[in-house]
Amino acid sequence: MTVPAGCQLGRWRIIEADLWDRGYLNLGGPATIAIGPDNNGESPLAPCKPVSN
């Protein structure tokens, strides 16, 4: 994803989200977002469990 110019570079911990509670955010480890010097961001999502019908 591309982040707006002027964002603080580095790795940031995600502690709150409108759609998910903290338990879901941290399901695969601490929820983080990393913003690099090229203004590109990376944030791994919590793992998903496939459901069979």
Distance of alpha carbon 20 from alpha carbon 30, whole angstroms = 14
pLDDT tens-digit series, residues 23-37: 888 888 888 888 888
3-state DSSP assignment of residue 52 = coil
Whether residue 40 contacts residue 7, with contact meaning beta carbons closer than 8 Å, is answered with no
What 3-state class would DSSP assign to 24? helix
Assessment of whether the complete model's pTM goes beyond 0.95: no
Token pair belonging to 38: 């090229």
- pLDDT tens, position by position, 8-17: 788 888 888 8
Kindly indicate the confidence band of residue 52, based on its pLDDT and cuts at 50, 70 and 90: low
Q: How far does Cα 14 stand from its chain's mean position?
A: 7
pLDDT, residue 47, reads 54
